[in-house]
Amino acid sequence: MSKAIGYTNISPRIKAVRFPKGKIVLHLVDGRIIIIPANKFPEIEHLSAPQKRRYNTLAGMGLMFESLDTVFHITDFIGKDFSSEILGSPDKNNKKYIVKKSAQSKAAERVVKYGKS
């Protein structure tokens, strides 16, 4: 029985978030720590320290702040899901593969804006 290597079969889930100066640090349930420059998310960067502490995770897949109308999806922070199936074998130079995108990567939703009532 072979043991899984890496994070290929693990869906990332947010456990906690910190905001050291100029950075957004995501602590994931699986133990990974993702560090992102805060300037990539100006809406979050411009929040005050108390506003940043008032966040909620949405089943670990989203991040939402009381002061914002935006829901940030995990893929906004870590990038797209490039899960693929390799169909066939490499060419004679071991360089080209036929790759089919998974339906999962097409279903990922981007940042959603919600209006306040």
- CATH code, domain with 63: 3.30.2020
Q: What does the block give as tokens for 14?
A: 């947010």
Per-residue pLDDT for 110 more than 60?
Answer: no
Average pLDDT over residues 91-116: 50
Pairwise CA distance, residues 111 & 76, whole Å: 7
Q: Does the reported pTM lie above 0.85?
A: no
Q: What does the block give as tokens for 98?
A: 């036929």
DSSP 67: T
Per-residue pLDDT for 98 more than 50?
Answer: no
Instruction: State how many domains the chain has.
Output: 1
Split at pLDDT 50, 70, 90, the class of 97 is very low
- Domain for residue 3, yes or no? no
Q: Provide the domain limits for residue 106.
A: 14-113
pLDDT digits (tens, 9 = 90+) for 22-81: 999 999 999 999 999 999 999 999 999 999 999 999 999 999 999 999 999 999 998 875
- Domain for residue 8, yes or no? no
DSSP 8: T
Identify the residue with better confidence: 57 or 10: 57
- Domain for residue 1, yes or no? no
- Domain for residue 70, yes or no? yes
Backbone angles phi, psi at 37, to 5 degrees: -65, 130
